[in-house]
Amino acid sequence: MGPPLARAVTQLPRLKLVNRLQIILQHLSMSKHIDSAAEVLLEKRGCAGVITMNRPKALNALNLSMIRQIYPQLKTWEKDSETFLIIIKGAGGKAFCAGGDIRAITDAGKAGASLAQDFFREEYILNNATGTCQKPYVALIDGITMGGGVGLSVHGHFRVATERTLFAMPETAIGLFPDVGGGYFLPRLSGKIGYYLALTGFRLKGRDLLKAGIATHFVESEKLPALEEDLIALKSPSKENVADVLNSYHMKCKIDQEKKFALEEHMDKINSLFSANSMEEIIQNLKQDGSPFALKQLETINKMSPTSLKLTLRQLREGASMNLQDVLTMEYRLSQACMRGHDFYEGVRAVLIDKDQVPKWKPATLEEVTDEFVDSCFKSLGNKDLKL
């Protein structure tokens, strides 16, 4: 019992005990409601179930307690005959979701705590639920959308980007790999753009998400509240009805309409240089090309974890012919290999904790990352495998 409650109760000595107990219980239930509502808001509004990630100070970073609230509610709404669509968004105006709560996972992994398994397992189960959702699933990806935030949006039916959207899969810089189903959606983007985004962590902004095939619609951020109201007001809508509303907003949006795709002039190079079968060949391609663009990519890739680069290239090459469930099962194996390894902890230290930006990768070169080691990371975990 906190001090404000204690004071309030002691100031009510004349009330009958039963009344005092009612006040205490009411306060406790209110504070419980506030606590559980703090990180994620789950509301039924009109025809829609609305999920709001509500950790704006942490850029709506996804943690295990949020996953454990979102997943059962999503499954409940999916079965509910009065819920016709799901809308997911982030609070605060800066981010949809900037990724998973990496600091907590790092601490757990170092301590050998179960969170290092539970987080990835339950996150991937949620990713699969968004990808198989039977109701139209609309992600309003306004602001920063990276890593875990991509996993909550990209597998759904509709992804609405705005001029404020900033997309990236930056995992190779922290000794991880582009998970949350990255092995499924990245190799399915046109040409080799998915491989390029995965290996370099290149950031896409605004309308470029539409041009890259990551977003399905582009709407001004200030129009999102009106769009949401129009979706919520629909009467028993079908997926086509939802698409009609999104299309009408999309067609009216003129922001950056004439702007060229940021990677347009480099697409031929991306498609040829990143089509190699191994990381060593990609490096060789970039060196041989020698153009300013190629040398810039070489400089970027040389900063990444060699282990992550090799895992990521194989993840995408294998994921290209797998379904989402098999990709997530594969990625869970990789996540646990990263938890057992060195580079994830070192990458998080260098980028997020000490912020010296000088990770000491082990092994330090691509040549030292053996095929045998890479093979071992993809091996079945037996009864500890992800089950979907």
CA distances, 88 to each of 30, 56, 378 (Å):
25, 15, 32
Q: Is 213 one of the catalytic residues? A: no
DSSP string, 226-265: HHHHHHHT-SS--HHHHHHHHHHHHHH--TTTTPPPTTGG
CB within 8 A of 227, min separation 6: which ones? 140, 160, 219, 245, 246, 249
Rounded (10°) angle between helices 279-289 and 306-319: 100
Contact 357, 304 (CB under 8 A): no
- Among the listed residues 90, 99, 100, 109, the single catalytic one is 100
Q: Is 319 one of the catalytic residues? A: no
Side by side, the strands of the sheet bearing 144-146 are 95-97, 144-146, 166-168, 204-205
- Among the listed residues 39, 101, 123, 179, the single catalytic one is 179
Q: Is 299 one of the catalytic residues? A: no
SS3 134: coil
- Among the listed residues 39, 101, 142, 171, the single catalytic one is 171
Q: Of 91, 187, 73, whose CA–CA distance to 137 is shortest?
A: 73
Contact 158, 243 (CB under 8 A): yes
CB within 8 A of 100, min separation 6: which ones? 61, 62, 63, 119, 123, 147, 148
Q: Is 131 one of the catalytic residues? A: no
> Is beta strand 95-97 parallel, antiparallel or unpaired with respect to 144-146?
parallel
- Among the listed residues 90, 99, 148, 182, the single catalytic one is 148
Catalytic positions, please?
Answer: 100, 148, 171, 179
